[in-house]
Chains A and B, each alone.
Chain A
Amino acid sequence: MDHAALLRSSPPAGDVTDEQSALNSAALQSVPIWARQIDTARRQTEDAIVALTSRFAGTVNRLEKMLGQDSRSSSQQAKEASRENESDLTLVVDALKAIQKSRDELATDIRTLAGYTDELRKMASDVESIAFQTNMLALNAAIEAAHAGTAGQGFAVVAHEVRNLSTAARDTGKRIAQKVGAVSEALVKIGSSSERLSERDQKAVKASEDRIQSVLGRFAANAARLEHVAEESRTQSAQIKGEIGEALVQLQFQDRVGQILTQVVSTMNDVRTAKGAQEHMQKMLGSYTTEEQRRNHQGLAAEDVAPQEVTFF
């Protein structure tokens, strides 16, 4: 609507009566006070809104930083640490399994060695048997040498020496058999002991492996919880940031309110020096900067102002 049309809709100036004159006087005294009050309220609102906007801006910046790499990297680090731990602990389990395998091989070697002792025991028995037969042979030779009389005296000496040797051989055979028995007994004991140890080690390795898996499982669960909390925190922060951004848009009302109040104060101050209602109204119309001011002037309801699209030239 142009200025002329708006002026036609302005209230007409009537005849001045005494009552009106008194009212005019009261109004003229009140107007500068109202102007100052409105200006104070405007400044206070503006200061508060600017402070509030700065606070919100600071909060948005802090949220922006928080939404950056930090939270993401800490959960990533936890995941990487979990992977490294699993890799390192798998190496420990592998080392324990290698030790257990060496011990099993040693037990197998001991069992093989124990198997040889049976052969050795038989060989010692053979030595005793040969010594017995040699002794019998030497005894027969001595008898035959005695039958030969003087001619057999030399042979009797040889037969006696052979008997001595066979007796020595039989004693050695017995000692070998005793030693082989002792060695065999020791090997059986070592074998049993080694098997017990191997069994125990196997259980220990299995228990260690289970415990490590359990620790890794707990660590992975904690890392997952941390990731979930971080994700939740990121989502919440993003929502808060969005809501603050929306609130900042709404705070733009201060700019419109400030312009409306500034215009009101300016117009009030002009009332005292106005040369006539028509001129004052004309000036007032020219000083509006928003559509709602013009609508208010016409006595129409001021509609809420919604954000609009851009006009390109």
Chain B
Amino acid sequence: MGKRILVVDDSASVRTVAGIALREAGYEVLEAANGQEGLSRLNGERIHLVISDVNMPVLDGIGFLKEIKKHPSYKFTPVIMLTTEAGEDKKAEGRAAGAKAWIVKPFQPKVLLDAVSKLCMA
């Protein structure tokens, strides 16, 4: 079985594009539409990597990332932020919260897959 990845984004089209690319590369993909739903999806599941948007309703990406890092089972799980935010201050906020990589949308699936592959092997 391939490695399991959680994709959290309020945009269904972004989840679909990421999902197609990841599944085609052999990963198993779980999806959630916001941070809160993402936390529910974790629910003791074995997750190898998380890809999260930043600006989302209910619980945003940075809040979600902070919650993940508090969780003993997921604090070492690598997180990639996938967002329209390109500002250095936001990136710094993500880095401080524990993100491992930052990709600005729109993204090329290959760029995402390379980053996922690199972080899954680390």
Question: Shortest distance in angstroms between A124's beta carbon and chain B's nearest beta carbon?
Answer: 96
B13 contact from A64, A255, A291, A307, Cβ within 8 A: A255
Known: A310-B111, A310-B115, A311-B101. A60 touches B20 (CB 8 A): yes
Is A309 interfacial (CB 8 A cutoff)?
yes
Question: Which residues of the other chain, B, contact A252 by a CB distance below 8 angstroms?
Answer: 11, 13-14, 17, 105-107
**Are B14's CB and A310's CB within 8 A?**
no
Q: Tell me which residues across on chain A come within 8 A of B9, comparing CB atoms.
A: 255
Instruction: Flag whether B7 is at the interface (Cβ < 8 A).
Output: no
How many interface residues does chain A have, given as a range? 20 to 34
Residues on the B chain within 8 Å of A307, using CB: 104, 106-108, 111
When distances are taken between beta carbons in the complex, the residues of chain A under 8 Å from B118 are: 312
Residues of B within 8 A of A56 (CB): 16
Decide if the interface of chain B is mainly helix, strand, loop or mixed. Answer: mixed
* Pair B13/A245 contact, Cβ less than 8 Å: no
Contact with B along A231-271 (1 / 0, CB 8 A): 00000000000000100111111111011000000000000
* Residue among A248, A253, A254, A258 with most chain B CB within 10 A: A248
User: In this assembly, does B36 line the interface, its C-beta being within 8 Å of a C-beta of chain A?
Assistant: no
Contacting chain B: which of A46-54, A96-104, A175-183? A46-54
User: Knowing that A289-B84, A308-B104 are A-B contacts, what are 11 other residue pairs whose CB atoms are under 8 Å apart, sorted by A's residue number?
Assistant: A50-B12, A54-B12, A57-B16, A249-B107, A249-B108, A251-B13, A256-B106, A259-B84, A291-B87, A310-B103, A311-B101
